[in-house]
């Protein structure tokens, strides 16, 4: 970044001095230092606002979610072909792992997860979703995703469009392959680019979007914000960089290289709502985890991960392998950062609703973007 963005994290310095009185026998022992909180007060406040948690509940949840990330990796390896997906259960604070073979349950539970016996493996559900990805969906179909809880592929249709011939025809074709259930959503998703307005964004043409994450040499963002070769202007209007790669629809990600005079930092802006957040990695959070988003319009917002590997049917075309969240967003937030704790999750793509009445937002996972362009995330 060109301008200085100081981390608003306090650094505590402890000065230990010993007087004669303290050295005397019988002197009162020094009190134990208070345990440091696992997250900033601002982050806990944001989770309290958007998730209805107390500060203590938010801290406890963040700790449990961090543990669930590691349990999920081990459980996937342990269950093998019997793995049916997993999700974080906020009520119990534990990861739930679906398995198709009862003999795998004990070993998965020994890892610290709860289990649920299901009929279909995650691989079978992924194959069923991949078949739907070959179909052309009408505007009344919002998208589809693998749902480990229902052990099915869920097709989301816009409530007001459900009975139209085009939507009914698509649903019939989707159900013909099996493993499909249908759910309703209030609105169709849309991207969150916006016309040029004030704020702390980046600009390409007359479009305003938000920086996602710093990578060595530039940053990643949403593909619908600009095409390869497009020039990028920074928050102050000066030349900032160039889109080196961009994909939309199909995917929704892009890589922007930056010019001299700008530099990258492993930071996501807190916008004064919370301290600016350091990025320390990109471990993927399970379904059900809390997650927060930073963008140039609605700033810092939180919610939960609702689904993964969802195909989102925008008016411009379908985008695959998206993650759905309950976090709100508005125009200009496109490309912005999704974080779980200090772990990068992805860049904001689109959604429906707003931050006054609520809604849902999708992001493109960060690890896919890094792999596509051979990039290295800038971490603290």
CB-neighbour burial class of residue 109 (10 A; exposed 0-12, middle 13-18, buried 19+): middle
3-class DSSP assignment, residue 231: strand
Q: What is the DSSP track for 26-82?
A: TPPPPPPPPPPPSS-HHHHHHHHHHH---HHHHHHHHHHHHHHHHHHHHHHHHHGGG
What whole-number distance in Å separates Cα of residue 188 and Cα of residue 159? 9
152 is catalytic: no
* Burial grade of 102 (CB within 10 A; 0-12, 13-18, 19 or more): exposed
Instruction: Give the burial class of 139: count Cβ atoms within 10 A of its Cβ; 0-12 exposed, 13-18 middle, 19 or more buried.
Output: middle
Instruction: Tell me whether residue 101 is one of the annotated catalytic residues.
Output: no
Would residue 326 show up in a list of annotated catalytic residues for this protein?
no
Nearest to 1, CA basis, from 232, 263, 256: 263
Q: Which residue in the list 289, 334, 337, 349 is annotated as catalytic?
A: 334
Marked catalytic residue, from 50, 251, 252, 333: 252
* Catalytic pick among 224, 299, 320, 378: 224
Those residues with Cβ within 8 angstroms of residue 224's Cβ, 6 or more apart along the chain or in another chain: 191, 193, 248, 249, 252, 316, 334, 349, 350
Q: How far apart are CA 378 and CA 255, in angstroms?
A: 14
β-pairing, 180-185 vs 152-158, is parallel
- Any idea which residues carry the catalytic annotation? 224, 252, 334
């Amino acid at each position: 970044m060109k301008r200085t963005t100081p981390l608003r994290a306090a650094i505590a310095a402890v000065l230990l001095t010993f007087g004669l009185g303290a050295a005397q026998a019988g002197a009162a022992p020094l009190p134990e230092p208070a345990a440091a909180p696992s997250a900033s007060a601002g982050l806990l406040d944001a989770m309290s606002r958007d998730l209805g948690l107390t500060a203590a509940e938010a801290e406890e949840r963040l700790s449990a979610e961090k543990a669930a990330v590691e349990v999920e990796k081990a459980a996937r390896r342990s269950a093998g072909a019997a793995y049916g997906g997993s999700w974080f259960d906020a009520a119990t604070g534990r990861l739930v792992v679906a398995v198709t073979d009862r003999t795998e349950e004990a070993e998965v539970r020994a890892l610290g997860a709860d289990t649920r016996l299901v009929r279909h493996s995650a691989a079978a559900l992924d194959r069923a979703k991949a078949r739907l990805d070959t179909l052309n969906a009408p505007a009344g179909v919002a998208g589809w995703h693998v749902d480990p809880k229902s052990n099915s592929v869920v097709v989301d249709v816009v409530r007001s469009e459900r009975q139209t011939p085009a939507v009914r025809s698509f649903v019939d074709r989707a159900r013909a392959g099996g493993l499909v259930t249908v759910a309703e959503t209030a609105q169709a998703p849309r991207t969150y680019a916006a016309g040029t307005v004030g704020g702390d964004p980046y600009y390409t043409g007359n479009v305003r979007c938000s920086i996602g994450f710093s990578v060595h040499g530039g940053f990643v963002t949403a593909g619908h914000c600009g095409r390869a070769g497009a020039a990028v202007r920074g928050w102050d209007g000066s030349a900032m960089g160039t889109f080196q790669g961009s994909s939309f629809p199909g995917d929704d990600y892009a890589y922007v290289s930056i010019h001299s005079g700008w530099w990258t930092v492993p930071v996501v802006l807190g916008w004064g709502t919370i301290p600016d957040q350091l990025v320390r990695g990109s471990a993927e959070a399970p379904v059900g985890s809390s997650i927060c988003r930073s963008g140039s319009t609605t700033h810092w917002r939180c919610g939960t991960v609702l689904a993964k590997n969802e195909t989102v049917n925008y008016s411009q075309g379908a985008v695959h392998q998206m993650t759905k969240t309950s976090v709100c967003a508005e125009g200009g937030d496109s490309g912005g950062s999704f974080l779980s704790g200090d772990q990068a999750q992805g860049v904001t793509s689109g959604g429906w609703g707003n931050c006054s009445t609520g809604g849902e937002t999708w992001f493109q996972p960060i690890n896919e973007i890094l792999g596509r362009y051979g990039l290295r995330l800038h971490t603290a």
